[in-house]
With several copies, the nearest count.
Chain A
Amino acid sequence: MRVPLEFEKPILELETRIAELEKYAQESGVGLEGELSVLRERLKKLQDDTYGNLTRWQRVQLARTPGRPTTLDVLGGVFQDFFELCGDRTFSDDPAIVGGLAYLEGTPVVVCGQQKGRDTKENIQRNFGMPHPEGYRKAMRLMDLADRFRQPFIAFIDTPGAYPGISAEERGQAWVIAQSIQRMARLRVPAIAVILGEGGSGGALAIGVGNRVLILENAWYSVISPESCAAILWRDAKEAAKAAEALKLSAPDLLQLGIVDRVIPEPGGGAHRDPATTLANLKTALLETLAELKDLGPEELFEDRYRRFRGLGVYAE
């Protein structure tokens, strides 16, 4: 069982109490409907109050919650026949980025995304979803395939960031992120990026240069994690909640800023409470987005993407 987040506790407690009462009522035959309906109403109100008013920091916590759908969950649950392709043909195969071929309702597409572990062991194997340069080179190979065979490219973002370690720096982490941004920008096929959970800085953007960028309701996307931001600006990583507010890193914020094009709703309480519904919503969004792009030719797709990112930024003349 995962450890509940602080703000989830009252709701989970109430849910437990209702369940116990229901069980008791059923077993004992005692009529508790009146009491139960009061409790159910209170639960509904508590849920609405909590989930309807999530702070940005609470969303960040939800975005990191175990049980939230990962890239492989999406590839398995939204697409058909995912067929993994491995390797960067240069140095290694990076388990922090997965990708390959898939069908989306019969349409052949090329997919990739950062992959976090679904338990501690897998997390270590996948470096907590923090790619090395070879991961981005794998992504670029997949972009090459998408372009070559004129199939849409769909990327799933879920990373605290590109790995900040010696090995990654030695092999040109900055270089490969820049190359990946450039490669994705140059695609002559429809490109969609979906932020599933964490969208941590350049390591996220490297596969985020889509014609459309979608985001799950409780995912975040920012130039820096709230903790690191707090450590620098407040000189205290514990001020992460304040930093999260200031960074305006939530899905609704990003939609307003034009950084994402569509927010994909999550079921009440977050994606981890109902992955199936989350994936269904995601599928609908992907299909509609692909349909929007389907009449654009190769050069139009490139220019559309150029204009999208060219227009981002706020300044005074």
Chain B
Amino acid sequence: MALERLFRRRRAQGEVRDVPELWTRCPSCDAPIYKKDLEQNLYVCPKCSHHMRFPALRRIESLADAGTFEQTTRLKPADPLEFVDTEPYVKRLERYQKEAGRPDAIVGGRCLIGEVPSVLLVMDAAFAGGSMGSVVGEEIARGAELAAQENRSLVIVSASGGARMQEAALSLMQMAKTTLALDRLWARRLPYVSILTDPTTGGVTASFAAIADVIFAEPGALIGFAGPRVIKQTIRQDLPEGFQRSEFLLKHGMVDRVVDRRKLKEAVTRVLRQFVGGARAAGV
């Protein structure tokens, strides 16, 4: 690659900072990547296919048919427990909201996916680690109910460290609430595809994310119930290589396929079209 050579030469000459603003490095293979290339490649390293965190709105763009997305999520978090740890929850919320540019860890709405009317919900790990409190739970329940009402498929992209501590037992209850709401889809025979991305753990995995008709995982994503640190503490030994990664889950029968982000829309479309009984996917 000419660009890479250039980059290397300039770096050798000490002309530029190690990672100039237009450039970044792949955390996996350390290859320098031109940021625009990375964006165009859906935040997948063009060298080693390492999947980096994917901004939620870009995720929506990558799955929804162009121009069809119409946001329905709109709830804002409250602080029902007046939770304070080293800092009040409300302060943290303000910071998260500023950083992530949204009220809570989820965004989604109506759209077409491969021409199939759908509700698409995307968790945002950039907001409090994508943790699930009342807002995430309620938006997912509403999303499922909206899909049921309007005869739409449901697609949820998970990225979450689990339930949100600052809403304590209320967060826990979101596991039940979201799972129950999926029943409304079942009753209408509408498909639900769950997409697990890095990381999906705790109460999110152990509720709506794990009981879909079809489950896809992005390559190399950390997926599980307990976090690796907790497990290490419990068993007091190192975890095996690849433990709790997508490929491990595939081997253990927990997900249907590990799908490269760049093929995800094709895969989701394939499944939705089949289940809504539509004609054979004519090449997305």
Contacts and interface: CB of A to CB of B under 8 A. Distances in A.
| Chains A and B touch (C-beta atoms under 8 A apart) | yes
Interface of A: 80-81, 83-94, 101, 103, 106, 108, 134, 137-138, 145, 148-151, 162-166, 168-175, 177-179, 181-182, 185-186, 201-202, 205-206, 208-209, 221-224, 228-229, 232-234, 242-243, 246-249, 253-254, 257, 259, 305-306, 309-310, 312-317
Interface in B240-284: 240, 243-244, 250-257, 267, 270-271, 274-275, 277-281
Contacts of B13: none
A206 to B, nearest CB: 8
A85 B256 contact: yes
A178 B208 contact: yes
B85 interface: yes
Given A151-B277, A229-B165, 4 more contacts: A201-B203, A205-B176, A233-B165, A312-B177
Contact of B235 (A108, A137, A166): A166
Interface residues of B, number: 80
Nearest to B79: A314
A90 B249 CA distance: 10
6 contacts: A148-B189, A169-B226, A182-B180, A205-B175, A234-B86, A313-B177
Contact of A257 (B80, B201, B243, B244): B80
A310 B181 contact: yes
A50 B61 CA distance: 59
Interface stretch (B18-26, B33-41, B132-140): B132-140
A175 B210 contact: yes
Given A87-B250, A89-B254, A309-B177, A169 B85 contact: no
B84 A259 contact: no
B225 A108 contact: no
B211 A179 contact: yes
A134 B270 contact: no
Contacts of B137: 313
B85 A86 contact: no
Contact of B75 (A86, A138, A317): A317
B207 interface: yes
Contacts of A222: 168-169, 172
Contacts of A223: 163-165, 167-169, 171-172, 203
Contact of B169 (A94, A164, A178, A254): A254
A170 to B, nearest CB: 6
Contacts of A248: 81, 168-169
4 shortest A-B CB distances, which residue pairs? Answer: A164-B226, A87-B253, A313-B134, A174-B205
A301 B9 CA distance: 71
Contact of A313 (B173, B210, B211, B240): B173
A175 B207 CA distance: 8
Most buried by A among B208, B210, B224, B270: B210
Contacts of B183: 182, 185-186, 306
B179 interface: yes
Contacts of A259: 169-170, 173
Contacts of B226: 162, 164-165, 168-169, 173
B243 A91 contact: no
Contacts of A93: 250-253
